[in-house]
Amino acid sequence: MKTRVITRGDPEWPVHMDEIGGLPPPEQLYVRGKPIDPSRAAVAIVGTRRATVAGLDAAASIAAAVVREGWIVVSGMARGIDAAAHRAALEAGGSTVAVLGTGVDICYPPRNTALYDAIGQTGTLISEYPDGTPSARWNFPRRNRIIVGCVPAGGPVVVVEGGVKSGALITARYAIDASREVFAVPGSYRNAMAAGPNELIRSGQAALVASPDHLFEALEVQLHSRSVPSAMPAVDGLSPFQKRLLLLMDDVSTTPSRLQVESGIAWSELSPALASLEIRGLVSKRISGYEVTASGARARRCLLDAPGAESLADPLPGTGSSG
């Protein structure tokens, strides 16, 4: 692959790059892969590297939905949220732009090599640094303004997960200064990685996005495609206790010992219930505990919408905290 150098006035030059608030726009950009089409709608999706399963899920579903509308997904190719957004865009057959903090000939982080290659083939890799520039931590916040510059003025920048001092929040601040529309995916108060987006929403700087449709509504987009409702997981087969367990879990991984304390159920009953939930693909066991999967999250929503959801939180009759 060859690296092209583009400057202002080039047909490929992202014209919005000059409207990035008070920040200095780049003099030139180094590009690999497909040419950038500055007229196409784009959305930036940014977030933490330490994402939870729920965060990855949100990034992927938003990316897939906007790609179906023919939009371009812009992100920074870091681990976690960035990678999930790029991947989902590519898998949905869409185009994606990765703005790197290194030279475009370098894949950083190295574990994203497969993604880097795929973006180079069907998407675009851009950077303001010449080939051979290694990763340096001070380059990454600066490249965030270029992510913003790839989105037209008034266009959307979505913050999925991030702490209150994260790079994702830096991007959000650049985006606000550059009068882009900032959106944030809310999360549980227990989830440290939801603190950033929650704060953006609380302070009124960002609009809440809990589904891709919220994004389209806010931008008053006429949808080309009907969004495909995902298959509802069967929650009928779950026992009351299994339902209750599922509701006790949230975005962050929950350890079995915590579940034990919160449910007050003996381990001998908790253990098979957890295994059943896992066999149904609703939760997934990781070293740090159980996390709700995408279909688990849908099942939770089903349960909470169903009549009588309140009673699920009550203690179960006939079960005490016996040894």
Q: Residues 41, 205, 276, 303: which binds other proteins (CB under 8 A)?
A: 276
Cβ proximity to other proteins, 55 vs 149, nearer residue:
55
Identified binder of other proteins from the candidate list 288, 301, 306, 319, rule CB under 8 A: 288
Residue range at the interface with other proteins (CB under 8 A); choices 93-101, 113-121, 139-147, 278-286:
278-286
What type of residue is 249? M
Query: Is 11 near other proteins (CB under 8 A)?
Result: no
Residue 145 makes contact with other proteins by CB under 8 A: no
Q: Give the separation between CA 106 and CA 126, rounded to whole angstroms.
A: 11
Binding mask 233-272 for other proteins (x = CB under 8 A): -------------------xx-xxxx-xx----xxx-xxx
CB of 109 to other proteins, least distance (A): 9
Instruction: Decide: is 323 part of the binding site for other proteins (CB under 8 A).
Output: yes
Is 117 or 262 the residue whose CB approaches other proteins more closely? 262
- Least separation in angstroms between residue 56's CB and other proteins is 12
Residue 205-234 contact track with other proteins, rule CB under 8 A, x = bound: ------------------------------
Q: Which two tokens stand for residue 158?
A: 């979505």
- Residue of the chain from 135, 188, 278, 303 that contacts other proteins (CB under 8 A): 278
Residue number with CB closer to other proteins (14 or 80): 80
* Binding track over 46-75 against other proteins, x by CB under 8 A: ---xx-------------------------
- Binding residues for other proteins (CB under 8 A): 49-50, 192, 252-253, 255-258, 260-261, 266-268, 270-272, 274-276, 278-281, 284-289, 323
